[in-house]
Structure 1
């Protein structure tokens, strides 16, 4: 068996270095071969120099995708991959030593399964997770891609899916279900849902999914993302996705008015009430702004 690991990156060289350092520590074995397909999506920082440092230590295949956007980069990774399976992770992820071998075990045990996913555990860089975020973790954990469906290898389906930092797809299936370039992040934009859209289509077409509890990664959260501003930005992206997928939501003037109202309530209550209350207004303000900007065609994520 041959496995393709895919990472798409744009201007996150310091985090990417940590990711590649951890990949060097994989407990890979001779039951399978693997390659690392690394797609550089027009980075302007020192990403190329960072990648060069690992040329002798990882089975790297580096390609450059000039069309800007995560979905374009993912489709390029699919085109370049030569494995039987493609395993997706991100440029801010630390894999466990058994990560790839655990995937291999799952692939071998159920070759008819189309897609797989595993645990994502956020790890906050110093000074750590702020108290307000810990108090509202039930609301905010999707912002940081936290995902753990337990120790039982349960079935995955269109209502229970893995997250983008840690999932795998049979390459023949993946090539039938490419990523939609109108979805996914572009540069620093926050509109996601690209992998969710693909995995739902696979499931709806009859593809089986499997949760793999031993496939574990840590998701690095830099200090500048453990902020109220970043939480709001994430939910702006979710609001934009609501419109893209025709989910029930406010649009146009109604969304704008709700954003203004929720933003005022957030500012008024920020230092007067428990975090659970004011964070709810922060989230709602972000969603409404995303719904407004997407429904009016402005696509702004300010």
Structure 2
């Protein structure tokens, strides 16, 4: 395509100063010819200075910025509001604690400008910006808890052979495709301060199920702020519990598992729980506290799944992982 319009959706909740940095990074990025860019801030019922911050940026930055207020809390609701109201060809999605790399817009223009008929969605990397030195106990299989994702330097198609998925905070999708697949599942994703998630996981698989073609682009980078409070075991426990509950919601909606169930829960998960407990005990006996914590996290995932399946809800985030 010779001319494309990109709307960059930024759902936000009570992060006015971080949002300012996000908008500054978009304004400072290289704006390639042939790509019209608009930032769409969806204020998800904030009570801080979010609106004033956006108004100041509208006056100060060389960037088209639109502001929408979405009173119904929930990241998925905010994203669906963006999908409903955006215009143009592409919808980019970033979070309010991120900054885009200087070449972020150029990478988007290069892929869709040259391969419009071949690619429906793209995703890239998260580069962590640590507030503190990351602790050594962070398990490699749980780096997603702090928003660290680096599938490598090679451009690869998304699909069953790809190890990972399209990241929700660094993705660009054809707007018509998002509307075709029905937007985001509003039963998933964070609401206020809780740690439900998997809205991006669900969207990724629905895009693939609909036959849409995706591409991992190593040039598409965002810098993700990792605050100190996320580098605690308490936070990891809470996140894993919420992730497990979210997986239960996906299981109820998609029902891809066709094997035996006990009380509505796939039977194999009971075995996973027992094995996780035994491995945690084994690690403790070997004085391997880091290994024990990794196995403990797998139990928190299962606990979230079981609790959501039993009661159809999750514990409030502040009640988990104390």
Q: Distance in 2 between matches of 1:251 and 1:189?
A: 26
* Alpha-carbon separation, structure 2, partners of 1:158 and 1:84: 27
Question: Taking structure 1 as reference, are residues 130 and 32 closer, same or farther at Cα in structure 2, changes over 3 Å only?
Answer: same
> Structure 1: which 5+ residue stretches go unaligned?
none
Deviations 1:67-107 (A, max 9, x none): 11111100001112112011111011111111011111101
SS in 1 for 2:238: helix
Alignment of 1:99-248 (within 5 A): 99-112=104-117, 113-125=119-131, 127-133=132-138, 136=139, 138-157=140-159, 160=162, 161-177=165-181, 178-246=183-251
**1:286 aligned partner:** 300
The 3 A distance-change label for structure 1 pair 280 and 203 is same
CA offset digits 1:146-184 (Å, max 9, x no partner): 222222221112563211111110111011121111111
Q: Does 1:20 align with 2:23?
A: yes
Residues 52 and 251 of structure 1: is their aligned pair in 2 closer, same or farther, counting only changes over 3 Å? farther
Distance between the aligned counterparts of 1:238 and 1:81, measured in 2? 29
User: What TM-score do the two structures reach when normalised by structure 1?
Assistant: 0.88
TM-score of the pair, normalised by structure 2? 0.83
Equivalent residue of 2:216, what SS?
strand
* Residue ranges of structure 2 left out of the alignment (5+ in a row): 252-256
Alignment size in residue pairs: 292
Kindly indicate whether residue 98 of structure 2 is the aligned counterpart of residue 83 of structure 1: no
**1:188 deviation in Å?**
1.2
Structure 2 CA distance for aligned equivalents of residues 282 and 187 of structure 1: 26
Q: What is the CA RMSD across the aligned residues, in angstroms?
A: 2.6
Question: How far apart are the structure 2 equivalents of 1:281 and 1:158?
Answer: 26
Contact 1:7 1:89 (C-alpha < 8 Å) held by counterparts? yes
CA distance in 2, matches of 1:250, 1:11: 41
User: CA 1:236 to 1:251, structure 2 compared with 1: closer, same or farther past 3 Å?
Assistant: farther
C-alpha distance 163-76 of structure 1, shift in aligned 2 (>3 A): same
1:95 pairs, out of 93, 100, 120, with: 100
Q: Distance in 2 between matches of 1:242 and 1:68?
A: 20
